[in-house]
Amino acid sequence: MSANRCASPLPLVLLGAGGHARVLLALARAAGHEVVGVCDPALAAEGAAQWLEVPVLGGDEAVAGLDASRVGLINGIGQLVGSVARRNLYQRMTAAGHVFPALIHPAAWVAPDVVLEGGAQVMAGAVVQPGCRIGENSIINTRAGVDHDCRIGAHVHIAPGATLCGGVQVGDDAFIGAGALLIQGIHVGERAVLGAGASLVKDLAADLVFLGAAGRLRPPSA
């Protein structure tokens, strides 16, 4: 899906009601999308009827009652280092036939030839230059810069203020921290983590963590 064709003709339902979901609700409204409901287990448990003037439809189970041909979804789960909740939710819902349209904040700039796969989210102030491809369910967060010919995999988080110079490749499930800098042509492997404010001048292999001047193996999941 190219940037100039990413607007969803469908009304949307937001999944989650945390901080990332609040940002996405503001994005959707600013971009002119109709958000007709929110699904969140905590809100459902509280018996809440509305959240930020959006009807609460229930927990995640409420999605089963939605017609996937008539309603699109927004993945409002934030991406934290080592967390798979956002990816798992996306994969579970897409396997059930639901669609997550790509979303672009009107205050972002995305070149016309950029390819945004399903569920990609480009936040306010972000810049994505020509020749880039952003994988499914990935986040280009506030004021991040992705320069020409970058390839971003699926389920990636490019955190606020990060800068990717031209030709950078980022593997699936990688995490690029806030304010990080990647010089041109760098390759970041799957599930790798680049810490906030770090500058990367050579490739980072899969599953490695790089913080400041020292890299270390990512600890195994608990």
Report yes or no on 22 lying in a domain: yes
Residue 192: what pLDDT?
Answer: 97
154 and 60 within one domain = no
**Residue range 36-62: mean pLDDT, rounded:** 96
Q: Compute the 3-state secondary structure of the chain and give helix, strand, coil in percent, each to the nearest 5.
A: 15, 30, 55
For 124-145, how does the pLDDT look when each residue is reduced to its tens digit (9 = 90+)?
999 999 999 999 999 999 999 9
Domain match, 108 and 90 both: no
> The domain spanning residue 62 has which CATH number?
3.40.50.20
Task: Give how many domains the chain has, as a whole number.
Answer: 2
| Last residue within a domain, chosen from 95, 113, 146 | 95
Structure tokens at 201: 């001048």
User: DSSP class of residue 188?
Assistant: E
- Residue 56's SS3 state is strand
Same domain, 52 and 144: no
Q: Which two tokens stand for residue 18?
A: 């945390």
> Last residue of some domain: 60, 95, 130?
95
User: Is residue 222 included in any domain, yes or no?
Assistant: no
Please count the other Cβ atoms lying within 10 Å of the Cβ belonging to residue 111. Answer: 16
Residue 68 phi/psi, 5° resolution?
-65, -20
- 1 has pLDDT over 50: no
Across residues 36-40, what is the average pLDDT?
97
Are 45 and 140 found together in one domain? Answer: no
Domain-terminating residue out of 47, 76, 95:
95
Q: What whole-number percentage of the chain has pLDDT above 70?
A: 92
Mean pLDDT of 116-121: 98
What is the value of pTM for the model shown? 0.93
- Find the CATH number of the domain harbouring 150: 2.160.10.10
| Co-location of 156 and 129 in the same domain | yes
pLDDT for 163-222, tens place per residue?
999 999 999 999 999 999 999 999 999 999 999 999 999 999 999 999 975 555 455 453
Average pLDDT score over the chain: 93
| Region for residue 87 given its phi and psi (left: phi exceeds 0; alpha: psi -120 to 50; beta: otherwise) | alpha
Residue linked to tokens 């509305």: 50
Q: 3-state DSSP call for residue 22? A: helix
- Are residues 122 and 207 located together in one domain of the fold? yes
Q: Identify whether 149 is part of a domain.
A: yes
- 218 occurs within a structural domain: no
Determine the structural domain holding residue 47 and report its residue range.
7-95
Domain-embedded: residue 219: no
pLDDT tens readout for residues 4-32: 445 568 999 999 999 999 999 999 999 99
Asked if residue 33 has pLDDT above 60, the reply is yes
- State the pLDDT at residue 212: 73
